[in-house]
Amino acid sequence: MPELDASKLQAFLRRRRIAPQTDREQPNAEQVADQVPRLSADFVIGLADETWRLGQRAARLSRLTGEESARGVTDSADRLQRLLAECGIAFEDHTGEPYGEDERLDVAHVEGEISESSNLWITQMVKPTVLVNGRVVRRGQVIVSAREPISDGGATT
């Protein structure tokens, strides 16, 4: 797994001032960064997966209950994704795209009958592709079908 850029993490921590929770002095950004061990690949992947799932669920909630009632959840999911991006962590969702042999994706399931001449479409993401500093650290898992997906505004799990 590519190493997270320590300078990016320190700059990020400097920009995010945490309000004191006690009367004791809060540690500065360098002290916090020194206390944070290198993040394991499993941690980074899990954090990206859960951020992606939160975004998917927020989008579904918005469609079902109305955008205004889901705005707080949607905004939180967007902010979390931006915070991860500031640390070099990103994920990709390929739902609705044509499927081709891609080094970033593994097929978890094929729906329906397909032939050699079938055009395959990604109908659902099981897990997103996770990247750190632009490098793939975990391939995405997809469900593909010979039928072009019907757009429902991004509904996935």
Q: What is the pLDDT of residue 156?
A: 46
Share of the chain above pLDDT 70, in %: 70
**pLDDT of 29 higher than 60:** no
Higher-confidence residue of 157 and 72: namely 72
Between 45 and 117, residue with greater pLDDT: 45
The average pLDDT across 84-113 equals: 87
**Cα separation of 47 and 37, whole Å?**
16
- Write out pLDDT tens, residues 101-113: 777 899 999 888 8
- How confident is residue 9, by pLDDT bands cut at 50, 70 and 90? low
